[in-house]
């Protein structure tokens, strides 16, 4: 697993959780290291914080998919707008979770992705009846 986020404290907590459940997890803190790490390590799952790219997050996700299409990619974000989720899923991202419920959503997300199912944080849809395919 590869974790990409500039916030060291948050990602270290997530890294510990993932290493306990799934084994080795590496952390990077910038876009260049993310792209290099995905190409070199070929992780089964990559977690990317949208804030890593500043305002150009969609381009980062497209580049990530172009350079390494195989790994499952989870977007981590503080944005809960459906338009952000839709845009990220539109470039081939497999999962989208919010930072607020990361402790409860991360393991569910990875488990779903490893079964081949997309995952979006349930709290994004809490006030809406519209859900993406694969969500119940």
Tell me the three state secondary structure of residue 132: coil
The separation between the first and the last C-alpha atoms of the chain, rounded to the nearest angstrom, is 26
State the DSSP string of 54-100.
TT-HHHHHHHHHHH--SSEEEEEES---HHHHHHHHHTT--EEEEST
CA 99 to chain CA mean position, Å: 10
Contact 63, 34 (CB under 8 A): no
The pLDDT tens digits of the residues spanning 65-88 come to 888 877 889 998 887 888 889 999
- Residue of 128 and 4 predicted with greater confidence: 4
pTM above 0.75, yes or no: yes
Q: For residues 5 and 3, what is the distance between their CA atoms, to the nearest angstrom?
A: 7
Where does the pLDDT of residue 123 fall: very low under 50, low under 70, confident under 90, or very high at 90 and above?
confident
Which residues fall within 8 angstroms of residue 129, CB to CB, at 6 or more apart?
none
């Amino acid at each position: 697993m590869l974790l990409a986020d500039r916030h060291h404290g948050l990602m270290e907590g997530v890294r510990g959780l993932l290493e306990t459940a799934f084994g080795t997890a590496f952390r990077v803190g910038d876009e260049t290291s993310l792209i290099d790490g995905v190409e070199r390590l070929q992780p089964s799952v990559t977690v990317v914080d949208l804030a890593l790219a500043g305002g150009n997050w969609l381009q980062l996700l497209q580049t990530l998919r172009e350079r390494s299409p195989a790994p499952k990619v989870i977007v981590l974000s503080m944005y809960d707008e459906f338009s952000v989720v839709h845009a990220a899923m539109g470039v081939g991202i497999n999962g989208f979770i919010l930072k607020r419920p990361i402790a409860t959503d991360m393991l569910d997300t990875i488990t779903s992705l490893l079964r081949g199912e997309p995952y979006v944080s349930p709290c994004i849809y809490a006030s809406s009846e519209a859900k993406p395919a694969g969500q119940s």
